[in-house]
């Protein structure tokens, strides 16, 4: 970088009024921008904090970031250290600084969250100590990974001033349906005790490929989740039981609700709660969820009709009509709302972070009902549940 361009960069940084956020900064209504059917979060400055692991010790601060956090180029980390955007124990350090175990590393960056579908998080029922909502697909339940404000908990806090909230259970990000949130940790613990004791009955519905059997199907097959690949697989033991299984015991009961000869709507009742259990058990039966690209095998995909994968569904059917909750597709469209461009940010000037393709579609899996010893919570069915 030339001295003139370096001076210009310093001048721009000096002109910027940077307000660093931490998890203590609550989401607010004005944090969101709605464009092209997506809910975006205005990029904001955020302090990521981590502590040096033993395997990181002995590396330079720049090499540590370049090797462990590959989402940004090496030159960015050099510039970030020099600018004080990366600090060790609250101090600015040189690029040659060698990190030691347990030191606190702060990375101050311009954070871009992935967008989600622009549906509202609609409130179904509010009680003194419990809130139930209809979770839209594509929105994670609580802060995780790149998501913080674009979450059910964040949106409810920003748009309804509901906080603190304690999710009683979780739904995968691409899954829609009933979500129970307690208004206190004590109430959440009471729900979790019932769940762990097997006293809670969960019912989902899925739109699957093919004519699902009319008779009830019970799948009692181990599920093994591979965190690196982000997917599960089933494990079936041999008849002699000589090969130990790595997966966890899993059981799901399936009942056909309807079929049109091409697809079926299936009631799914998980007895256990393993990661992607319903999705992988339906795949095991030969009837995967019709737009579940993670579990559609080549054989099954060849049997599906044109246009029914998650990617193709967007071309053949408007995703606006696939969920009962209201949406924000027109609100703020082309409103001219802007956000500050950060000269060091590797994602600016785009709203979405790099690597997000923007073509994600809701999964045809919906949580219909949760019921316990003396309570029942239900959510309206999505449009795709009604076959023509």
Strand pairing category for 251-259 and 263-270? antiparallel
Q: How far apart are CA 173 and CA 20, in angstroms?
A: 27
What are the structure tokens assigned to 149, written together?
């404000």
Q: How far apart are CA 373 and CA 200, in angstroms?
A: 7
Q: How far apart are CA 369 and CA 152, in angstroms?
A: 18
- Per the CB < 8 A criterion, the answer to whether 85 and 109 are in contact is yes
**Integer-rounded Cα radius of gyration of the chain:** 24
| Residue 208 neighbours by CB under 8 Å, 6+ apart | 263, 264, 265, 266, 282, 287, 288, 289, 290
Evaluated on CA atoms 65, 68, 72, 73, the torsion sign reads: positive
Q: Which helix (H) or strand (E) holds 312?
A: helix 310-316
What are the structure tokens assigned to 251, written together?
């059981």
Q: Is the peptide bond before 219 cis (omega within 30 degrees of 0)?
A: no
- Backbone φ, ψ for residue 376 (5° rounding): -145, 130
3-state secondary structure of 325: coil
In the annotation, is 292 catalytic?
no
Alpha carbon distances (Å) from 4 to 7, 11, 62, 80, 343: 5, 11, 24, 18, 15
Q: Is the peptide bond before 349 cis (omega within 30 degrees of 0)?
A: yes
What are the structure tokens assigned to 290, written together?
């019709």
Q: How far apart are CA 290 and CA 206, in angstroms?
A: 9
Instruction: Point out the catalytic residue in the list 31, 89, 129, 172.
Output: 172
Our measurement of the distance from residue 161's CA atom to the centroid of its chain's CA atoms, rounded to an integer in Å, reads: 22
83 CB burial (10 A radius; 0-12, 13-18, 19+): middle
Q: Which helix (H) or strand (E) holds 377?
A: strand 376-378
Catalytic residues: 172
């Amino acid at each position: 970088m030339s001295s003139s361009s370096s001076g210009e960069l310093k001048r721009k940084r000096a002109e910027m009024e940077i307000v660093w956020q931490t998890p203590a900064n609550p989401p607010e209504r004005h944090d969101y921008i709605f464009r092209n059917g997506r809910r975006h979060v205005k990029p904001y400055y955020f302090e990521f904090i981590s502590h040096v692991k033993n395997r990181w010790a002995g590396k330079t601060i720049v090499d540590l970031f370049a090797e462990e956090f590959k989402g940004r180029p090496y030159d960015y980390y050099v510039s970030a250290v020099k600018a004080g955007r990366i600090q060790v124990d609250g101090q600015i350090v040189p690029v040659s600084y060698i990190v030691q175990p347990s030191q606190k590393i702060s990375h101050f960056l311009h954070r871009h969250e992935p967008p989600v579908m622009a549906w509202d998080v609609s409130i179904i029922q509010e009680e003194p100590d419990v809130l139930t909502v209809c979770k839209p697909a594509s929105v994670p339940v609580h802060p995780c990974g790149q998501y913080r404000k674009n979450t059910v908990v964040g949106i409810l806090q920003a748009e309804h001033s509901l906080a603190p909230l304690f999710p009683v259970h979780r739904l995968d990000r691409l899954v829609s349906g009933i979500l129970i949130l307690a208004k206190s940790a004590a109430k959440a613990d009471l729900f979790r005790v019932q769940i762990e004791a097997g006293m809670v009955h969960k019912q989902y519905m899925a739109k699957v490929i093919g004519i699902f059997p009319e008779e009830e199907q019970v799948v009692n097959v181990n599920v093994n989740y591979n965190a690196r690949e982000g997917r599960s697989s089933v494990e079936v033991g041999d008849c002699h039981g000589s090969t130990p299984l790595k997966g966890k015991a899993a059981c799901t009961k399936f009942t056909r609700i309807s079929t049109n000869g091409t697809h079926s709507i299936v009631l799914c009742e998980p007895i256990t709660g393993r990661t992607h259990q319903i999705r992988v058990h339906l795949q095991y039966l030969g009837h995967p969820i019709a737009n579940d690209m993670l579990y559609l095998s080549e054989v099954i995909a060849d049997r599906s009709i044109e246009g029914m994968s998650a990617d193709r569904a967007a071309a053949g059917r408007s995703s606006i009509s696939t969920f009962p909750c209201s949406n924000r597709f027109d609100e703020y469209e082309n409103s001219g709302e802007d956000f500050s461009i950060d000269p060091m940010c590797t994602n600016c000037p785009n709203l979405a972070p790099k690597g997000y393709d923007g073509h994600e579609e809701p999964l045809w899996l919906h949580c219909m009902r949760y019921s316990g010893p003396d309570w029942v919570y239900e959510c309206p069915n999505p449009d795709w549940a009604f076959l023509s």
